[in-house]
Structures are given as structure tokens and as C-alpha cells.
Chain A
Amino acid sequence: MAEWVTLAEAIAANVHDGATVALEGFTHLIPFAAGHEIIRQQRRNLSLIRMTPDLIYDQLIGAGCAAKLTFSWGGNPGVGSLHRFRDAVENGWPGPLEIEERSHSDLANAYVAGAANLPFAVLRGYTGSDLPRVNNKIRSVTCPFTGEVLAATPSVRPDVTVIHAQKADWKGNVLLWGILGVQKEAALAAKRTIVTVEERVRELDAPPNACILPSWVVTAVCEVPRGATPSYAHGYYDRDNVFYRAWDQISRDRDCFDAWIKENILETTDFAGYLQATAQ
């Protein structure tokens, strides 16, 4: 059964130094509040997994939380580069970052395999690409029925998955809608799952095929209004495109980035404090 706790309690209890952690959300519902709390609690040596690192992992990488990154597309959508990610890969700042690079199709399949408790994913992919040359976990398997050679890659099994959703009821059943990305698969592939939600409601009032994570597959649930900003929560608020553009400047320079993290994350007590600090 999911336990209703504060986000600080959820991160302290479930995200430990050295853990394999996936914070998912495909452009939509990116769990920024949880990412900030991991920075605030100064977790180290995390092995981070995410299809699109986005600003959330740019922040975690730049703040020194990550030892490894598994990903498939690392840019600032609609803007350009992720400067902290690039600085880590190109110059090893603030520390060396091991990368395991895959394609979207591969990682999506690998989350499905993880949720299905299978050791590896199978896909028709990577033929002719140089990616298998630089990632020795991209291998192949021969179909026992047709003889076709297919790509085989390890399933994704995070210690902890963190997602953001629109609603949860008082029991901790979680409802999300709109662009769902890989959140359901990422949650079911993990040993423990933390969900932050826009609001806690009495009844979810959802139709039968809605995307619901039952309370008993969720470890902790936390009410964090606007917890996905500067990404968006369908039905609640829009993507903060101005911030995505501003991040290009904030993150370009190491000192400027450090000052921003200190002022807005390390020196605030929680996400409400962050929202207040950045609203000025």
C-alpha cells in the first residue's frame, strides 16, 4: 500500500547513495520537485536512467549527484544543448560521468521487459548503427522460429522509479493522463516507486481503461502542487517555455549554475520554497 508522506521523507527513505534511479516523464509530467529534493538531500553516485535527460538530469548531473547516465536523447527540447550534461561528458565536470547510450525504441522496450520481469528486451533495431560498437550491452539474439537476428538489450530494473501524476485518492491509487510516455512501465519495472501528484482527491472518478497505478504497486505518494514545473501537467498548467530558454543561459556557465542551484534548491526547504524563490 502506498503511504502518504512528504517528498522529503519519500526521498530520504527510498533514494540512497549509489542507487539506480529512473525519474521518468516524456516532456509531460517530469518529476522536477523530486529531482530537486534529491539535490537538496545531496545524494551521490546515483546511476540515473531516463530516455530524455531534459533539464531535470542536467540539474542532477551538474549538482554532482550522478555517476552514470543511461539515456537515449540528451537535448534541451526546442532550445538546444544540455550544457551540464555536455560539460560532464566532454570535460568530466563536476566529476566523471559514465554513459550508457541507447535508442528511444530500445529503452522503451527495456522498460516493458523490466515491468514484465524479463531479463532482456528484443527489438528490430540498431542495424548498421555505430551504437552497438560503443555500448557492449547492445547485443543480438536469433529467433528460434524464423532465424531472424534481432537486437537484444538488458531490461531496465531501477531500484527506485519516480514519476509525477495528476491525482491520487486517499488510499494512494494514482491516476495520470495525456502523454503517458513510459511512466507506467518504469513504475512497474522498479523495486520501489515514488509518485508525486498535483492533488489528493477523495475519488479518482476515472473511466475503466484509464491509466491507474493501484496503491499496492506504489511505495510512497506525495502531494506536490506544480511538482512537474517547468514541464507541464495536462489539465493543470502549461510548459514553462520561457524557463526552458532561460536554462540555456543559467546552465552555460559553471559558476552561474552553481549559484542558481544554491539559491533556488539548496537554500530552499522544499518545492513550495523553490516556486517562491523563482517567482521573484
Chain B
Amino acid sequence: MSVAYRSDEMMTVAAARMLRNGAVCFVGIGLPSTAANLARLTHAPDAVLIYESGPIGAKPAVLPLSIGDGNLAETADTVVSTPEIFRYWLQGGRIDVGFLGAAQLDRFANINTTVVGSYKNPKVRLPGAGGAPEISSSAKEVLIIVKQTNRTFVEKLDFVTSVGFLTGGDSRELAGLPGKGPAAVITDLCILRPHPVSRELEVTSIHPGVNREFISKNTGWDVRFADSCGETAVPDSVELQTLRDLKERTAAAHGVEGDAA
């Protein structure tokens, strides 16, 4: 028996499923934080959540609104300084999964969070890099969660803030980046994974109720579908209830939803 759910809930649940129990995860604020905490509250109770503000092993009962909320520090195994987070823990090679969002993304999962338009004379000035350039290069692998439209999934990025597979093929390995790069991009429509050789993102799983035409229409390049492309399992009642409870607790605590950023 299936329960009614929204497409953003499907996205968060599908992203949460990607985080394996016990993984050490460097968590971005917003959608990645929602998905990582849902994973921790369902199938991955031993996932270690690290936030760039300093908490290691954070177990927040409600979603943080900012990257440095007090409940992250209160529930962490330890809190270290921000330089230590980036130097010893990320650059030190101790992060299994970097969990990121994006404003724009291209077919090789390179990310733009800097500007729309030209850098000198931007149409929209976005917040900028934050921790993402080094997370995307140093984490052993990367998961990206982002809503899919032809404005976010673009043929060519206005600015490459953080790298995925650069120009595809073996260009990432040749550049000498320590981590393996994006393992999956999870959207409100589907899951995309890099092709093993070309490294171009291809749709490997379509969320129920979404069709190929709609995905193509919402992708700014001629998106490919993997031969093995299947259908994403619908959120089960535990996943859905846990997510809704988490969001309800968050709204009650902050007066706002936790993944607004």
C-alpha cells in the first residue's frame, strides 16, 4: 500500500538512501543536511555527520537552520575549530562522502554557486563557494541533491565553482584530485549517475509518476538514459513519517522549515 508523497519528499528520501550506515559524511546546509539526517534517523544510525562549522558526529534532533546552530555543537562527539575541520578532517582524507547542493550543474556534474551571467557584471550574484570546492575534490565520493529544471541543469555553466568530472573521461583523474568525484545526483525527478567511461551524467532511475520526456524537458542538455534505467522505489511509510516528523519538529523549533537555504 503506498502513501501519498510530494516530489521533494521523494528527492530527500532517495538521497538519504544513498548514505550508507557508518559513512563519515561532510554535510552541506539545506537539502543535504535534511537528507543526511533522515538517513541517520532511518537506516544509517551510525553515519557520522560533520559540519564545516566544527561539529563532528552531530546528531541534531531538529534540522539546523544555519551551518553553525547550537544544537549541532550540543549533540556532537566533539567540536573543533573551522581550520581543523578543513585541514585535519577533510584534507586529511577522513571524509567518505561529501553531501552537496548546487545552483547550477552541467553534464559532468561540475557545480556553479558563484554567479549567473559574467563574473565582473553578474545578472545574479550567488553566495559563492563556501566549503564546496575542497569538499568536491577531497571527499572520497560526492552526492549532489538538487531540484531539476532546465535553469539548474545547464548546457554550459556560467562559472565552475566546484568540480565534478571536469570535461569528462579521465580528466578528473589526470587533474590529480584526491577523491573519486560525484557518485550520484539526486533530483525531484530522477537519479543520475556518471557513465563509467564518458563520466557524463545519465539517468539511472526515474521517480514514480515522472516520464522521460519531462526529464528531458527539464535538462538543459540532451540527457541520456542508461540501458539499465529503472524506477525508484516509492518512499515507504517509515521513511516518509520520519521525514515529516523531522520537518515538523524543525518548524516548531525554528518557526521555519530547516532546509530553506
Find A80's partner among B131, B258, B261 (CB 8 Å cutoff): B261
> How many Å from the CB of A73 to the closest CB on chain B?
4
Residues of A within 8 A of B175 (CB): 127-128
A230-270 interface (Cβ within 8 A of B): 232, 234, 238-239, 241-242, 244-245
With A26-B68, A89-B125, A134-B119 as given contacts, are A178 and B260 in contact (CB-CB < 8 Å)?
no
A72-115 interface (Cβ within 8 A of B): 72-75, 77-82, 85-86, 89-90, 101-105, 108-109, 111-112
Q: Which of B6-14, B75-83, B193-201, B229-237 lies on the face that meets chain A? A: B75-83
| Cα distance A130–B177 in the bound complex, in angstroms | 15
A218 at the interface (CB under 8 A from B): no
B240-261 interface (Cβ within 8 A of A): 254-256, 258, 260-261
Find A129's partner among B54, B67, B119, B133 (CB 8 Å cutoff): B133
**How many inter-chain residue pairs (CB < 8 Å) link A and B?**
180
| Cα distance A71–B175 in the bound complex, in angstroms | 26
For chain A, the bracket of interface size reads: 35 or more
Residues of A within 8 A of B260 (CB): 78-80
A137 at the interface (CB under 8 A from B): no
B166 at the interface (CB under 8 A from A): yes
Q: Nearest CB to that of B81 among chain A residues?
A: A180
Q: Are B86 and A104 closer than 8 Å at their CB atoms?
A: yes
> How many Å from the CB of B159 to the closest CB on chain A?
5
Q: Are A127 and B72 closer than 8 Å at their CB atoms?
A: no
A41-73 interface (Cβ within 8 A of B): 51-52, 71-73
Residues of B within 8 A of A108 (CB): 82-83, 85-87
List chain A positions with a Cβ less than 8 A from chain B.
Answer: 26-28, 51-52, 71-75, 77-82, 85-86, 89-90, 101-105, 108-109, 111-112, 123-131, 134, 148-149, 178-182, 184-185, 232, 234, 238-239, 241-242, 244-245
Residues of A within 8 A of B166 (CB): 128
| Cα distance A134–B160 in the bound complex, in angstroms | 11
Q: Are A129 and B163 closer than 8 Å at their CB atoms?
A: yes
Find A178's partner among B70, B137, B256 (CB 8 Å cutoff): B70
Find B29's partner among A77, A103, A179, A239 (CB 8 Å cutoff): A77
With A128-B177, A239-B66 as given contacts, are A181 and B53 in contact (CB-CB < 8 Å)?
yes
| Cα distance A126–B134 in the bound complex, in angstroms | 7
Q: Are A179 and B83 closer than 8 Å at their CB atoms?
A: no
B52 at the interface (CB under 8 A from A): yes
| Cα distance A127–B165 in the bound complex, in angstroms | 11
Q: Are B129 and A26 closer than 8 Å at their CB atoms?
A: no
The 8 closest A-B pairs by CB, nearest first: A27-B68, A75-B127, A78-B65, A77-B66, A128-B163, A73-B130, A105-B134, A105-B86
With A73-B127, A178-B79, A180-B79 as given contacts, are A27 and B53 in contact (CB-CB < 8 Å)?
yes
Q: Are B68 and A179 closer than 8 Å at their CB atoms?
A: yes
| Cα distance A123–B86 in the bound complex, in angstroms | 10
Q: Are B67 and A77 closer than 8 Å at their CB atoms?
A: yes
Find A112's partner among B83, B128, B254 (CB 8 Å cutoff): B83
B88-128 CB contact bits vs A (8 Å, 1 = yes)?
A: 00110000000000000000001000100001001111011
| Cα distance A124–B72 in the bound complex, in angstroms | 27
Q: Are B254 and A105 closer than 8 Å at their CB atoms?
A: no
Residues of A within 8 A of B177 (CB): 127-128
Q: Are B53 and A28 closer than 8 Å at their CB atoms?
A: yes
| Cα distance A104–B256 in the bound complex, in angstroms | 26
Q: Are B69 and A239 closer than 8 Å at their CB atoms?
A: yes
Most buried by A among B70, B172, B177, B254: B70
| Cα distance A79–B30 in the bound complex, in angstroms | 10
> How many Å from the CB of A105 to the closest CB on chain B?
4
Q: Are A131 and B161 closer than 8 Å at their CB atoms?
A: yes
Most buried by B among A125, A126, A179, A181: A179
Q: Are A123 and B91 closer than 8 Å at their CB atoms?
A: yes
Q: Are B128 and A101 closer than 8 Å at their CB atoms?
A: yes
| Cα distance A82–B261 in the bound complex, in angstroms | 12
Most buried by A among B68, B161, B178: B68
| Cα distance A185–B55 in the bound complex, in angstroms | 18
With A78-B261, A124-B137 as given contacts, are A28 and B128 in contact (CB-CB < 8 Å)?
no
